[in-house]
Structure 1
Amino acid sequence: MISARFHHVSLSVADLSAQEAWYGSAFGLTRVDERLELPEAGVRTVVLSNPSGLRVEFVERPGSSPAVHTDPFTATAVQTFTHLALHVPDLDVAFARLTAECGAAPVSSPGPGVTEDMRYAYVADPEGNLLELIGTSRP
């Protein structure tokens, strides 16, 4: 067995600056842990984190194309990571803030999950990346 813990997730984005600003406002990802530019590869990256330990890397490569999904299940048609799941303290508040104030597109409204005390919802960030919001009665 290899002992491991989660480090970060990486999202390919079209506009690094815009996504950096959006995730900073939406989730408090304002601390820059790493920033790297590889001009020979045409790639710019930044790893951002927040005080609760969430870490996300954003990678910008000109000419990349977005993955467009109309719902969380169509995302599973391609064998890759399909969404970023985030536990939030209040699902209804988070969903409302992200969709009304931050400009996230609602994908599925808050509803019951499989686990008895779990509820979930999906939103898409400004570039269409799926985010699953999970709320439970447990922290």
Structure 2
Amino acid sequence: MGGEIFVWIMVGIFGLLFVMVILLGIFYPGSGAGQLDWKPTRSPEVEAQNEVDDIAQMLAATNAKRRRRGEKDLTEEGMNARVHEELRLQAEMRDRTVLDSEMVQLLDARNERRRKRGLPEMTLDEFRASLDVPPPRAQS
């Protein structure tokens, strides 16, 4: 009995402390940054310019390596095109993986019904052909 009272008193104290901290955060004027007198060190414009400069520097370094190997220089537009093509291929592969897993689930259900009727099971290639779905491409 005495242990239960202690537990309830401790839960009450922690609950009250939690509510007080929440209320303090809601009703105290200003913000944490204002209390610390904190100001950002760089403006968003400077950050954007730094990003542009970083990209230009990385592109220049990449092109220097490519020139030493005798390859053609890359442009920012060319890099963007390569990135977009890579993202498109990744999305296509992800969609193909989802389609393949769904087809396997459908084939399992169909083969279960075929077993109950005493029919032979279908292979995945036969199932694809029955749905007019092309076989997966070989990954390069």
Structure of higher CA gyration radius: 2
TM-score of the superposed pair, with normalisation by structure 1: 0.17
Bigger fraction of residues in helix: 2
